[in-house]
Amino acid sequence: MMELRPGARFQSTVCANEVIVVKGAGPAELSCGGAPLAAAGSAERSGDPGDASEGTLLGKRYGDEDEAIEVLCTKAGPGSLALGGVPLAVKVTNSLPASD
């Protein structure tokens, strides 16, 4: 388990994905491609992402259904993000009102 706090940076150990925690606090098991994420700059990449079904898109925010956590992808890769084994979904952006 890792300690999540806003501003914390993590990287995947199996692909090029890197994320920043935007919202969330406390211990959690954040993973990418089926392998736990590591603190940015602390681990080397090895292996292949096991669940590369979705991949992670640059600049997109990902979160869980309860909106307890939100991460921002700063480097894209083929691995999918998950929290405690449950896949994180891309957050839907709110549309701005028309300015006529």
> What's the whole-number mean pLDDT along residues 64-84?
92
Q: How many domains does the chain fold into? A: 1
Q: Assess if residue 33 is contained within a domain.
A: yes
Q: Could you tell me if residue 78 is left (phi over 0), alpha (psi between -120 and 50 degrees) or otherwise beta?
A: alpha
Is 100 contained in some domain?
Answer: no
Per-residue DSSP letter, 74: E
Structure tokens at 14: 């199996």
- The residue segments making up the domain with residue 72 are 2-89
C-alpha–C-alpha distance, residues 73 and 20, integer Å: 7
Residue 29 placed within a domain: yes
Say if 99 falls within a structural domain. Answer: no
Full-model pTM: 0.84
Is there a domain that residue 84 lies in? yes
The answer as to whether 35 is a domain residue is yes
**76 assigned to some structural domain:** yes
- Does residue 73 have a pLDDT over 70? yes
In the predicted model, is pLDDT for residue 52 greater than 60? no
In a domain, 94, yes or no: no
